[in-house]
Structure 1
């Protein structure tokens, strides 16, 4: 197993609501005077040390958190597994012999091991929610745009968010209060949950059996009607790509995958072609496929994304949250091939709609943690944090 830290930091800290709490920083965020490696040695070689802290780091430090180190990340944040061919697999103490989840793998590992109290990470397609589920932690992917990403390496900018992983709900709330920009408006407390059968049917029986009691235990009204009940959802996209016979949720996943890949190539394609980095096989294949996408792929995917945005706006009014698994099951064994598509089917709704997604430890499958994901309307971060804290 690999150390979750790639570099240790001696930071005295300062007064504030986070005073005394240790902060582990994903190696996508700049720390003044320290190089940012983004999980790849070639990136490290071709980029100068940071001149200033990333905005998210600066806010947490100003609130009193003490930086203890920078942590391993999957290469350029484009994985959900937590295995880095260059730096190894950070330990998952909640599931020994299994991956911690990526791409915020080192931050999740450091918090789960008790080496840090707050793990700063990013979530584009699930990179906070999935490690939280695998490691038995709390984690929040905030509303897109509510936490500054200044000074952070991008992957897909219209999906990228910055949030934290913690061992308890109170620390999660305090850390996110330091990070979140002021809300445009207050949101009503959550009193109703959607646990749609068309999404829950996508996960194994053992995961449903472990997590559905947690949904009921929140003591809120629960509606199990299908989330995707519009028969026209996604049809334009499917005809554009030549696909047929897929579920609306799979249509959403494919749209997310296409848009993420397109943006990742726009962000890093020129650097990849100029610098010729050594990538692990999964990341290498994803960038190779991204380089071949066409405008038609993006146009069709954007239509589906618009449909998801409208659907979330309609299905998640004030006081309502979507309750679905954060991952299909427990952390995979190290070396096993994860079902990336099954994971993204559960994480893509928040990503496509820009909505906040909270992962909280809620059950076990064969003594291994599995997390529940709560998704609120965009801007509803505080009501999710209040529900977790309760």
Structure 2
């Protein structure tokens, strides 16, 4: 395990002269976001070699800095953000203090680690298919994936633009909400959450230890609980995962295929294999995936109305050890519904299994992010 920072920018002390709602808060930034005068490496040395140093901040970074946050460093990310484990072939695996000897989760691994280690108060990550929600779960943090498109992604290295979002980590819900208010710039009206949809089909497929750890948290909100199955067949959750994987791979190759063929970067085994498979996809593979995505989006929109939100685990279990078998498919089955539909989702540190954190994931209707943040403050 290693330090979460790939590049230190300031000391880990906040700027005592800063003003604004985030004054006194230390900000860590995933090494996908541009910071003027600082290289953006995207987790891969060849990317660093072949791209110019940015001359301006990404919008998300600029908003947080303008509100008084002090950037303390750029953090390790899985290569080009295409992983969920948090191990980087070139730069190592950031420490997870909440689960010593275990991975922090990726691809926003360094950002989660920095907040969990208290080397930063807030940290920017990105979430394409769980890369904020999963590290938040593994490290016992609050983490938010906003409604897709609500926070500008200019100045951020993309992976799959129709899935990519900015995201943020914090150790407490109040800090998360304050920082997210800054990122949003303008607030949407907050509608009360009245119903937690905890579908029996999904919860019955979850490891009993995780179910026993998290289900009391659902009951603890004191809201109506709807256990009606979400899907016609639980096998459709695997179809949704495959749909997500196909769209992600297709878009990732469209974004980076030319650079990969020209620059010939060295990738770690998992990332390299995923890009190699992505290069083989055709439009015939993508068209049915896009059609099924519409089905999932419609399903989520139809259920998340009138104050109802979907409550399911953020991950199928606690953080695994680096050398343990990694069930990527099981993980993505828990995270893909939000990614495919573009709905906001929050990861709440409300459970433990064998002393290790496991988070509850709550998914809400589009543009009701503020309702999730308010729910987090009530948790």
Q: 2-11 vs 161-170, which deviates more?
A: 2-11
- Residue 321 of structure 1: aligned partner: 309
Work out whether residues 125 and 351 of structure 1, in 8 Å CA contact, stay in contact via their aligned partners in 2. yes
- Residue 241 of structure 1: aligned partner: none
Partner of 2:54, secondary structure, is coil
Partner of 1:60, secondary structure, is helix
What displacement does 1:107 show?
Answer: 0.4
Instruction: Map Cα deviations across residues 167-206 of structure 1 (whole Å, 9 max, x no partner).
Output: 00001001111111535x5352101010001111222111
* Alignment: residue pair count: 374
- Residue 3 of structure 1: aligned partner: 3
Q: State the TM-score, normalized to the length of structure 2.
A: 0.97
1:218 aligned to 2:185?
no
Q: State the TM-score, normalized to the length of structure 1.
A: 0.94
- Residue 21 of structure 2: aligned partner: 17
Work out whether residues 118 and 166 of structure 1, in 8 Å CA contact, stay in contact via their aligned partners in 2. yes
Q: Distance in 2 between matches of 1:163 and 1:322?
A: 19
What displacement does 1:35 show?
Answer: 0.6
Q: Distance in 2 between matches of 1:47 and 1:202?
A: 44
Instruction: Map Cα deviations across residues 59-94 of structure 1 (whole Å, 9 max, x no partner).
Output: 000111110000000000000000001000000000
Q: 2:201 aligns with which of 185, 198, 202?
A: 198
1:265 aligned to 2:270?
no
Partner of 2:367, secondary structure, is coil
What displacement does 1:389 show?
Answer: 1.1
Q: Distance in 1 between matches of 2:40 and 2:247?
A: 25
Q: Distance in 2 between matches of 1:52 and 1:337?
A: 41
Q: 1:142 aligns with which of 122, 136, 146?
A: 146
What displacement does 1:311 show?
Answer: 0.4
Shift of the 159–181 alpha-carbon distance from structure 1 to 2, 3 Å rule, reads farther
1:63 aligned to 2:51?
no
Q: 2:345 aligns with which of 314, 337, 357?
A: 357
Q: Distance in 2 between matches of 1:203 and 1:274?
A: 43
Query: Counterparts of 1:92-103 in structure 2 under 5 Å?
Result: 92-103=96-107
Q: 2:331 aligns with which of 343, 350, 374?
A: 343
Q: Distance in 2 between matches of 1:21 and 1:291?
A: 42
Query: Counterparts of 1:107-126 in structure 2 under 5 Å?
Result: 107-126=111-130
1:73 aligned to 2:73?
no
Instruction: Map Cα deviations across residues 336-388 of structure 1 (whole Å, 9 max, x no partner).
Output: 23111001101000001000000010111000000000000110100000110
Work out whether residues 146 and 181 of structure 1, in 8 Å CA contact, stay in contact via their aligned partners in 2. no
Partner of 2:94, secondary structure, is coil
Work out whether residues 76 and 155 of structure 1, in 8 Å CA contact, stay in contact via their aligned partners in 2. yes
Q: Distance in 2 between matches of 1:254 and 1:80?
A: 16
**RMSD over aligned Cα, in angstroms?**
1.1
Q: 52-61 vs 8-17, which deviates more?
A: 8-17
- Residue 238 of structure 1: aligned partner: none
Partner of 2:73, secondary structure, is strand
Partner of 1:250, secondary structure, is helix
Shift of the 35–263 alpha-carbon distance from structure 1 to 2, 3 Å rule, reads same
Partner of 1:92, secondary structure, is coil
Q: 144-153 vs 8-17, which deviates more?
A: 8-17
Unaligned runs of 5+ in 1: 232-245
Q: 1:379 aligns with which of 359, 363, 367?
A: 367
Work out whether residues 82 and 105 of structure 1, in 8 Å CA contact, stay in contact via their aligned partners in 2. yes
Partner of 1:89, secondary structure, is coil
Partner of 2:20, secondary structure, is coil
Unaligned runs of 5+ in 2: none
Work out whether residues 14 and 61 of structure 1, in 8 Å CA contact, stay in contact via their aligned partners in 2. no
Q: Distance in 2 between matches of 1:80 and 1:383?
A: 27
